[in-house]
Amino acid sequence: MKKVRLGIIGVGNIGTKHYDKIMCGATPEIELTAVADLREVRRTVAKEKLPESIAIFETAEELIESGLCDAVLIATPHYDHPKYTMMALKNGLHVLCEKPAGVYTKQVREMNEFAATKDLVFAMMFNQRTNHIYRKMHEMVHSGKYGQIKRVNWIITDWYRSQAYYNSGGWRATWEGEGGGVLLNQCPHNLDLLQWICGMPSRVTAFCHEGKWHDIEVEDDVTAYLEYPNGATGVFVTTTADLPGTNRFEITLDKAKMVCENGELKVFELNVPEREFCFNTPEGFPKAEGKWIDIETDGLNPEHAGVMNAFAARILRGEPLVAEGYEGINGLTLSNAMHLSSWLGRAVELPFDEDLFLNELNKKRQNSKKKDNVVETTFNTEGTY
**Whether residue 72 has pLDDT greater than 70:** yes
Model confidence at 361, pLDDT cuts 50, 70, 90, reads very high
Residue 306 shares a structural domain with residue 353: no
Residues 206 and 344 in one domain: yes
Which residue from 122, 187, 79, 104 is spatially nearest to 327, judged by alpha carbons?
A: 122
pLDDT higher than threshold 90 for residue 384? no
Q: Do residues 340 and 352 both lie within one domain?
A: yes
Residues in Cβ contact with 40 at an 8 Å cutoff, skipping those fewer than 6 apart: none
pLDDT of residue 111: 98
Per the structure, the complete domain to which residue 287 belongs is given by: 132-300+331-366
pLDDT in tens, 284-312: 999 999 999 989 999 999 999 999 999 99
Which among 21, 367, 39, 44 is positioned nearest to 175, based on CA atoms? Answer: 367
Among 75-84, 169-178, 326-335, 350-359, the least confident range: 169-178
CA distance 139 to 371: 44
Residues found in the chain: 385
Residue 83 sits in the same domain as residue 212: no
Instruction: Report the predicted TM-score, pTM, of the whole model to 2 decimal places.
Output: 0.94
Is residue 373 domain-resident?
no
350 located within any domain: yes
Residue 137 in any domain: the answer is yes
Are 313 and 348 contained in the same domain? no
Residue 1: predicted pLDDT: 60
Q: Do residues 196 and 259 share a domain?
A: yes
Paired residues of 5 in beta bridges: 31
45 shares its domain with 167: no
Is 220 part of a structural domain of the chain?
Answer: yes
pLDDT of 317 strictly over 90: yes
187 and 335 in a single domain? The answer is yes
Please report, for the domain that includes residue 286, its CATH number. 3.30.360.10
Domain-located, residue 344: yes
Whether the per-residue pLDDT at 73 is higher than 80: the answer is yes
Q: Is the pLDDT of residue 214 over 60?
A: yes
Say if residues 258 and 267 touch (Cβ distance below 8 Å): yes
> Is 383 contained in some domain?
no
Q: Are 277 and 289 in contact (CB under 8 A)?
A: yes
DSSP output for 2-28: --EEEEEE--SHHHHHHHHHHHTTS-T
For strand 30-36 and strand 55-57, is the pairing parallel, antiparallel, or unpaired? parallel
Domain shared by 260 and 286, yes or no: yes
Query: Domain containing 39 — which CATH number?
Result: 3.40.50.720
Q: Please state, rounded to an integer, the average pLDDT across all residues of the chain.
A: 95
Same domain, 276 and 167: yes
Looking at the structure, tell me whether residues 145 and 180 fall in a common domain: yes
The answer to the question of residue 81 being in a domain is: yes
In the chain, the number of structural domains is: 2
Same domain flag for 160 and 44: no
pLDDT digits (tens, 9 = 90+) for 127-157: 999 999 999 999 999 999 999 999 999 999 9
Q: Does the residue 382 lie in any domain? A: no
Among the residue ranges 28-32, 50-54, 274-278, 378-382, the one predicted with the least confidence is: 378-382
Ramachandran region of residue 299, left (φ > 0), alpha (ψ -120 to 50) or beta?
left
| Confidence band for 380, pLDDT divided at 50, 70 and 90 | very low
Single out the residue of 225, 248, 257 nearest to residue 141, CA to CA.
257
With 70 as the cut, is the pLDDT of residue 25 above it? Answer: yes
Residue 373 has a pLDDT of: 46
Between helix 188-198 and helix 328-344 the angle, nearest 10°, is 110
